[in-house]
Structure 1
Amino acid sequence: MAKINDVGGTQGFGAIDTTDDTEPFHADWEARVVGLFNALRAQGLFNTNEFRDAIESMPAKEYLAASYYERWFTAICALLERKGVIEPGELDG
């Protein structure tokens, strides 16, 4: 069964913006999420396949509503809970 990120051949998402964006991040928090990802992965807390699976396992409604780095942060939080680093819901605001 295809996950929400597998939209190959699906129509109705509108045109793709193909203009070049010269900035790698649009907000400071996005760069921090990438740094957090790199630090945790380097410590062996999770690997790239686990990270990708965590993103792809997001509920469809959340996945579609989230920005690129919001998906990264959601996946990191899910992995931290799954690995027992934080308690479920510990980061809920």
Structure 2
Amino acid sequence: MENNHLVYILKCKDDTLYTGYTTNMERRLKMHESGKGAKYTRGRGPFTVMYQEMLATKEAALSREYEIKKLQRHEKLTLIKEEKGKIYHANSKKL
């Protein structure tokens, strides 16, 4: 069964980071924006999606979410920076 299991990091308006899991990023972001997402994000919008990682299974995604949540803030920022670098390099190779 092929699903889009996403782990994501949001940057909140107070500059904090929130890590979560979803199968539909657009729907989940709307939930956060409307105050119906996670308790932590209520009142902290608007949000910027800083990081997304797609995994093959729900179990793998929840495990990865837990790993990321254990990271310190500077480690999460490094992860975000490294991922953006990978995306940039991947795109530049196609040119």
TM-score of the pair, normalised by structure 1: 0.34
Larger-gyration structure (1/2): 1
TM-score of the pair, normalised by structure 2: 0.33
